[in-house]
Chains A and B, each alone.
Chain A
Amino acid sequence: MRRYVVRRVLLVIPVMLGVSLIVFLLMHFTPGDPALLMLGERATEEQLQLLRQEMGLLEPLPVQYARFLGAALQGDLGRSYRSGRPVMTEVLSRLPATAELAVAAVVIAVLIGVPVGVLSAVKQYSLLDNAGMLLALLGASLPSFWLGLMLMLLFAVNLGWLPPSGRDGLSSLVLPALTLGAGAAALITRMTRSSMLEVINQDYVRTARAKGLPEKTVIYSHAFRNALLPVVTVIGLQFGALLGGAVITETVFAWPGAGRLAVEAIRAKDYPVVQGAVLMLAFAFAIVNLLVDLLYAFLNPRIRARYK
């Protein structure tokens, strides 16, 4: 088990190196001269050249990347063109809001997806099952930004129950979390249902029934526990995907997270901030995926055995 954990943790390093290279290159080839962006149109050519030299923009590309990487490892992601503040500070001040939103969305998705999925499977082909699957299909097909606006229209504008935007206490979290969690809820519902159906047809469930155990015990302590494994994986993968989806939801609800920071920075051509925000979100994504894999290995005796 320890060997697996070490291997899996070490795997994060090359992946993050690759991600940093992709993001660095893409930002490097983004049109626009950083020096010009910082100094404005009125700067003279000499001033521009001086700044380019100072920023290391005249060095060969590999040197620039090495320098960027070295600084990033020490927690320095450069400075914002717009505010002049360190990118790390800006992103770190926004990450908690994104984490809060993503966690709330996952909780909502699990609270909806797991029970509906289990009920759907237990009552396969019933009205309830059909309704649940229809909802799941809708959830997977809804454009999140549109769902967000419609929820906002209903609950904030028309009914006035919840605040339409901003981050101010628990009530302001409800609509963004629902919006972000809807797609994940749909996937978790379908995964739970199919996983439960698979398990219900297994011999040990039939044995449990044959022993005369009450149906409740059969379903919850025999079937459900064994059906959980793939569900846990999907939940984890969805949690990561939500970090990406947060970019859109945060824009809809003016939620002050790292995703919205990235979108604002793109509009302002503040590329160091875009780069920093994307890298930190990718890092969070990598850590979540790592934890999911470790949890999966912990829950799955087959993987545990392989790395004894």
Chain B
Amino acid sequence: MKTQPVPDYCPSAAAAVAEHRKRVSDFWWQLRRNRLALCGAAVLAFFTVVALLAPWLAPYSPTAQNLPASLQPPGPAHLLGTDEFGRDILSRIIFGARFSLPVGFFSVAIALAGGGLLGMLAGYYGGRLDNLIMRVMDVMLALPTILLAIVIVTALGPGLTNVMVAVGISLIPNFARVAKAAVLGVRELEYVEAARASGAGTLRVIFRHILPNSLAPIIVQGTLSVAGAILSAAALSFIGLGAQPPTPEWGSMLSSGRAFLRDAPHVTTFPGLAILLTVLALNLFGDGLRDALDPRLRQFNR
């Protein structure tokens, strides 16, 4: 494996650094070689820019009504047509990026913080704490994710922020499991033992030594979960529990467009395409990350 013999019990610092550099460069090389993942990253960057520059990019106001121009099909004045209140759909989709993307990321951030912490505690301490945490996670997993999110958002009341929280909580068990498995994988390794022996406190061991070395599976799970979170949040908005009108959120745009499916299908088609593109990009990028970070999976999934 190594070019020069290094005693197992005392790897020299230089060798360790070189090994780390090689792994990092290998990761970037793998990721850059994956054209689909790059496409996904490009689409994500595009939507992020669109969200940031929305006021300058959108040709119209996302909420200004213009009833005489309602339900117009796509044309030169309105590239993607107008909705039932004469609002420009392109402008609404552009502003919608400011809701759907952050909702996806923040709900995963909640799940990551909550589930990551619980999973690491369970994995690090084991025993009764592990048992308690994981049994609670089992119960949460016993409800289908979307159903759990629906019940939570019902209790919190409708609204986009609450949807974010609900989707985030409903994803906690997944992250707890991944984090626990990741910690178990490195807990008994020598450098962790060394850190503990040198008197590092529990928190320091977890955050400085265990976390950085068990990040890969958590990052992959995170990226793929953003895709799922965006879908769940849009679904909750679609059934009326999320963004409330006139917020230009993609799921609720779709929902209000349903009534005009027959005569003005563009009202439902385009917001759905925006969701599809975003989620597709996240899935491509997440798959690419996984392949680059976890060589064991590479041969089976491209």
The answer for the CA separation of A184 and B145 in the assembled complex, in Å, is 15
**Nearest CB of chain A from residue B297's CB, rounded to whole Å:** 9
The answer for the CA separation of A167 and B138 in the assembled complex, in Å, is 35
**Nearest CB of chain A from residue B283's CB, rounded to whole Å:** 5
The answer for the CA separation of A138 and B138 in the assembled complex, in Å, is 30
**Nearest CB of chain B from residue A65's CB, rounded to whole Å:** 15
A14–B135 CB distance below 8 A: yes
Is A61 part of the contact surface with B, judged by Cβ < 8 Å? no
**Nearest CB of chain A from residue B282's CB, rounded to whole Å:** 8
B142–A15 CB distance below 8 A: yes
B185-218 contacts to A, CB under 8 A, are none
B235–A145 CB distance below 8 A: yes
The interface residues of chain B lying within 8 Å CB-to-CB of A26 are: 151-152, 154-155
Is B272 part of the contact surface with A, judged by Cβ < 8 Å? yes
B254–A146 CB distance below 8 A: yes
Measured as residues with beta carbon below 8 angstroms from the partner, the interface class of chain B is 35 or more
The interface residues of chain A lying within 8 Å CB-to-CB of B280 are: 137-138, 141
A141–B272 CB distance below 8 A: no
Is B59 part of the contact surface with A, judged by Cβ < 8 Å? no
B155–A141 CB distance below 8 A: no
The answer for the CA separation of A194 and B302 in the assembled complex, in Å, is 10
Chain B interface helix/strand/loop/mixed: helix
The interface residues of chain B lying within 8 Å CB-to-CB of A247 are: 146-147, 150, 239
A198–B145 CB distance below 8 A: no
Size of the chain A interface, CB-CB below 8 angstroms: 54
B144–A143 CB distance below 8 A: no
**Nearest CB of chain B from residue A7's CB, rounded to whole Å:** 14
Is B275 part of the contact surface with A, judged by Cβ < 8 Å? yes
Is A108 part of the contact surface with B, judged by Cβ < 8 Å? no
The interface residues of chain B lying within 8 Å CB-to-CB of A19 are: 139, 142-143
Complex: chain B residue closest to A12, CB-CB:
B142
Asked if A248 meets B146 with Cβ closer than 8 Å, knowing A143-B231, A149-B258, the reply is yes
The interface residues of chain A lying within 8 Å CB-to-CB of B155 are: 26-27, 29-30
The interface residues of chain B lying within 8 Å CB-to-CB of A153 are: 261, 265, 268
The interface residues of chain B lying within 8 Å CB-to-CB of A144 are: 231, 235
The answer for the CA separation of A19 and B84 in the assembled complex, in Å, is 42
The interface residues of chain A lying within 8 Å CB-to-CB of B300 are: 193-194, 197-198
Is B80 part of the contact surface with A, judged by Cβ < 8 Å? no
Is B110 part of the contact surface with A, judged by Cβ < 8 Å? no
**Nearest CB of chain B from residue A132's CB, rounded to whole Å:** 12
The answer for the CA separation of A263 and B241 in the assembled complex, in Å, is 9
Chain A interface helix/strand/loop/mixed: helix
The interface residues of chain B lying within 8 Å CB-to-CB of A16 are: 142
B276–A262 CB distance below 8 A: no
The interface residues of chain B lying within 8 Å CB-to-CB of A241 are: 144-145
The interface residues of chain B lying within 8 Å CB-to-CB of A251 are: 238-239
Is A150 part of the contact surface with B, judged by Cβ < 8 Å? yes
Asked if A23 meets B139 with Cβ closer than 8 Å, knowing A137-B284, A146-B276, A241-B144, the reply is no
The interface residues of chain B lying within 8 Å CB-to-CB of A278 are: 143, 147, 150-151
Is A18 part of the contact surface with B, judged by Cβ < 8 Å? yes
B251-302 contacts to A, CB under 8 A, are 251, 254-255, 258, 261-262, 265, 268-269, 271-272, 275-276, 279-280, 283-284, 299-302
The interface residues of chain B lying within 8 Å CB-to-CB of A232 are: none
The interface residues of chain B lying within 8 Å CB-to-CB of A142 are: 276, 279
The interface residues of chain B lying within 8 Å CB-to-CB of A140 are: 283
The answer for the CA separation of A248 and B40 in the assembled complex, in Å, is 27
Q: Which of B143, B144, B241 contacts A22 (CB 8 A)?
A: B143
Is A281 part of the contact surface with B, judged by Cβ < 8 Å? yes
Is B227 part of the contact surface with A, judged by Cβ < 8 Å? yes
Is A240 part of the contact surface with B, judged by Cβ < 8 Å? yes
A143–B235 CB distance below 8 A: yes
The answer for the CA separation of A252 and B255 in the assembled complex, in Å, is 9
The interface residues of chain A lying within 8 Å CB-to-CB of B251 are: 143, 145
- Given A141-B279, A149-B254, A247-B146, list of 11 further CB < 8 A pairs? A143-B254, A143-B279, A145-B255, A152-B261, A157-B265, A198-B300, A244-B145, A244-B146, A278-B147, A282-B142, A289-B142
28 contacts between A and B (CB under 8 A): A15-B138, A15-B142, A18-B136, A18-B138, A18-B139, A26-B155, A31-B157, A141-B276, A142-B279, A143-B275, A144-B235, A145-B251, A146-B276, A152-B261, A153-B261, A153-B268, A157-B261, A197-B299, A240-B144, A245-B146, A248-B239, A251-B239, A263-B239, A267-B240, A281-B147, A282-B143, A282-B147, A285-B144
